[in-house]
Structure 1
Amino acid sequence: MDTAIAEIERGGRVESRHAGTAVVVDADGDVVFALGDIALPTYPRSAVKAFLALPLVESGAAERLGLDDEELALACASHNGEPAHVTVAARMLGRAGRNVACLECGTHWPTNADAAHALARSGGEPNALHNNCSGKHAGFVCLACDQEQDLAGYIHPAHPIMREVTAALADVTDAAHGEDNRGIDGCSIPTYAIPMRALAHGFARFGTGHGLGRERARAAARLRTAVANAPFMVGGSGRFDTVLMQALGSAVFSKMGAEGIMAASLPEQGLGIAVKCHDGAPRAAEVAMATLLMRFLGPEARDHTVLRDLATHDIRNWNGMTVGRVRAAPFI
Structure 2
Amino acid sequence: MVLPFASTKSKTLLVAFLAVSMAHQAAAAPLETNPVTPLGPVAPLDHQHPVFGGRPASDMVQAVVKADTTVSRAQLLAITNTTRRLEVSNSDVRNMEAHFQQSMEVNVETMQKKYASGEFKPSPWPSSYWPTYQDSINMKWSRSDASAAEKYAKAFGLDTQGFMDKISATTGVDSQASASRKCSSDSECSKFNDESRCGKRDGANTGYCIPTWYGLCHAWAPAAILEPEPKCSVVKNGVTFKVFDIKALLTQLYDGAGVNVVFTGARFDDADSVRDEYGRYTDAKQRDLGPGFFHIAVTNIMCRFGRSFVVDVASGAQVWNQPVRSYSINELTFMTPEGRP
Query: TM-score band, normalised by the shorter chain?
Result: under 0.3
Higher Rg of the two aligned structures: 2
**Higher strand proportion, which one?**
1
- Select the structure with the greater relative contact order (CA < 8 A; seq sep ≥ 6): 2
TM-score with structure 1 setting the length: 0.27
The structure where helix makes up a greater share of residues is 1
Task: Calculate the TM-score normalised by the size of structure 2.
Answer: 0.27
